[in-house]
Structure 1
Amino acid sequence: MTGMRPCTVLAMVLVGVALAGVADAWEVRLRAAVTTQASLVRLGDVAEVSGADRPTDVSLEQIVVALGPTRSHSRELTTSDIRRALALRNVELQHCQFTGASRSVLSYGVAAPAPGSNPVRGEGAARARQPGHARVPVEAPAQQLIPAIVAVRPLTRGEMVQEADVELRQVEKAGAPSGLIQRLADAVGRQTRQSVGADQPLTVRALQQPLLVRKNEEVTVVVRCGAIQARRRAIALNDGTRGDMITVETSDGSSAQFMARVVDIRQVEVLPDSTSAGR
């Protein structure tokens, strides 16, 4: 580099450092599922960004990549959606690697804390020492919070639970009933055994599989024997959900009663060796 001006040498060094930094790959690890109440979802809400320098990480995590979910509608976000959102913000994606899930399902609700990190409000006394100031005790109640599925409106007995009827919230563990339902999938599509008030957590005892057969309702009885299948009409003598064994009575005048398993709406199945349940 003989004869080159010092400022030229310095500029070349700085350009080389900059190019080396650009060549460093950075990673976006997408989460498979995210629960949020935000109206705008940012990259940091759905993915972990690493590999770039920290200031860049922070700015990347603040980029809006999707609209938030609603109480009645979840959203799906793919890596292609994220690429488009980043490209609109002039983010260089040549050295970006997407890992983790290929898509993320966005559901409305309060995100559950990570295992072992449940928020706790501690009860005790705190004293601050500072020259010229008195000691002042500070007290706060202690309650551990846990996730629970809560009704957002009153639910009547026998009502089918829809996605818009419930949401995931954090409730105080001490006052929570036993048998809490903590996943939306365990509540949506089920039927209430009893009335449930608004803002009341749902429990296993409060819900049941929906009734597929009702007492005194006409049902189709399916009898299977190998590849042979026969059908006949009968009257259900009990209510039943999927998998329940109920008593049915033939409606052809013979009044024969048999035990049958509920398999679908107004449909039951009888094994060929079933014995008469009554007459």
Structure 2
Amino acid sequence: MTRTSKTKTALYFLAILVGSWSADAAEVTLRQQSHAKGSLVLLGDVADVTSGSAERIELLKRVELFPAPAQNRSKLMHVRELIELLVLHGIDIDDLAFSGTRTTRIYPAAPAPKVVTVGLQVPASETADMVVVTRRTLNRGDIIRDADVELQPRDPKNQSFQVATERHAVVGMELLYPIREGQTIILNQLRKPLMVKRGELIRVRARAAGVQVTTTAKAMEDGAMGDIIIVQSLENREQYATHVTGTQQVEVYAAGIVASDSASSSAHRNNQSTEKR
């Protein structure tokens, strides 16, 4: 087992064991599945926080973990990743006890219910729900621009799909399927543009104690801006969670442990090679 693996394993079990020994420990019980309540996933969205003082419980519930999944998508989070995120946010995990399931499936916030108010009689075209339709034919992989779409009254016969009703919800999104001119855009036809693709080599940046380290790793899954994805170190094939920050760029969540270790190992080998010469 590498030093990195030992460090992460020790961190995981230390959080569980030390937390269970403390009489005043707050208990974090991870749910099997959960829904974000806003644009950010909070600790209180994915786990029940009990014991300890009321002030401590409320503080923990409000810890921001990462951006909520996009509509029609979900994210699987392991308890180890949760612990790393809490450490990154400066939370003292020595007085936390973790229980419940080891992984949780996180879904986006449910759309707010529409409120219909009955008022003065107006033309049907002014009271009909508006939907987003295309102004030209768009192909798979196209990024939707504001000039590509417009709002039109919804066809009363077409009520079965979750269609886009606001322009800002589709502008900047990537199309998964081609759409003809004049068609209504359905939300499951869209996704956030991929910044990282599975299998490609990407830049990994880590910051720790005021030092920034950049290395290269292999992406193990696709990721859009703000997504958390798993990457694999080229040095020892260690896998760890990162946060997508740009095109082929990610940032390490766990205080740069793996990336810095990888860079240090590379520098050490270079020094040895220089000495032999």
Greater relative CO, 1 or 2 (CA 8 Å, sep 6+): 2
TM-score (norm. length: structure 1): 0.45
* Structure with the larger helix share: 2
Q: Which protein has the larger Cα radius of gyration, Structure 1 or Structure 2? A: 1
TM-score (norm. length: structure 2): 0.45
